[in-house]
Amino acid sequence: MAGDWAVELHGVRKRYGRGRTAVHALRGIDLTLHHGSYTAVMGPSGSGKSTFLQCAAGLDRPTAGAVRLGGTEITGMKENKLTALRRTRVGFVFQAFNLLPSLTVEQNVVLPMRLAGHRPDRRRAAEVLAQVGLADKARRRPGQLSGGQQQRVAIARALVTRPDVVFADEPTGALDTTTATEILTLLRQAVDTQGATVVMVTHDPAAAAWADRVLFLTDGEIIDHLDRDAIDGPRLAPGHPDHLRPDRLAAGRERGAPPYRAHADRIAARMTSLAGPRARTEAAA
């Protein structure tokens, strides 16, 4: 059933420009992601990660192919309808947080509801702020918070409408390692305990190691993937009470330790093998 998938891309291509100067940024992406899945997208610089994210999130239109979010075809959708859909059914987390400095934390969190023309649900805002550990910061302004706290607000904002999918673009890129781990823990918990669906572009193998699956993009094509099941065993279903068992939460906080580090090392090795031939080609050019 179409509605079973949070994200579907079928034969998605994206070309910038025309003729001899055309750049084929995506060369036929086929991908289906379950609700409650956590996917990382990696690839060398210029491999098409941002273009993939933009097309999958309905921020840009593919040259060919189809994109569906939560079973709704967005390809060819009129701009105003697409904007409305993005506000309620897609969450975004960016490297630079992208909060509005003049609004309070709570106002930032309910912004997607306001922009969609809905009455801000302050109870839901309190719920997601508690989820990210900022229950007591609702009246602060972003400038009064640390970078990690600001990214927590951005995660709360991304989750507030219970979207079909949260797209995260280098969400830990501006953060130190400890704070990055806290942010990755929150995204993981949103998937495990709330059934959120996360797609995260990252350069960092340690960040990608938190995902269920890592996709490797090269020259606009998904050419490989690595699954976390290999180290973790099969995942518990989203919302399963065992996700909140103290030993599992503690294990989550230990993600920097083996076997997660070993998984991150495998991801890094795969990245190096992807970058190798390309780097040689460029060096030879």
Binding site for ligand ATP (CB under 6 A): 16-17, 23, 25, 43, 45-51
Q: Which is nearer to ligand ATP, 57 or 128 (CB)?
A: 57
- Could you give the strand order of the β-sheet that contains 213-218, starting from the edge strand earlier in sequence? 90-94, 165-169, 198-201, 38-42, 213-218, 221-227
Q: Which is nearer to ligand ATP, 37 or 47 (CB)?
A: 47
CB of 258 to ligand ATP, least distance (A): 28
Q: Are 250 and 267 a contacting pair, CB within 8 Å?
A: no
CB of 280 to ligand ATP, least distance (A): 18
Burial of 272 (C-beta count, 10 Å sphere; 0-12/13-18/19+): exposed
**Which residue, among 99, 239, 90, has the nearest Cα to 166 in the 3D structure?**
90
CB of 160 to ligand ATP, least distance (A): 27
Q: Are 171 and 204 a contacting pair, CB within 8 Å?
A: no
Q: Which residues partner with 64 through β-bridges?
A: 13
Q: Which is nearer to ligand ATP, 23 or 279 (CB)?
A: 23
Q: Which is nearer to ligand ATP, 250 or 285 (CB)?
A: 285
**Could you give the angle at which helices 79-89 and 105-115 cross, rounded to 10 degrees?**
140
Q: Are 212 and 227 a contacting pair, CB within 8 Å?
A: yes
CB of 170 to ligand ATP, least distance (A): 8
CB of 18 to ligand ATP, least distance (A): 11
Q: Which is nearer to ligand ATP, 106 or 170 (CB)?
A: 170
Distance CA 182, CA 186 (A): 6
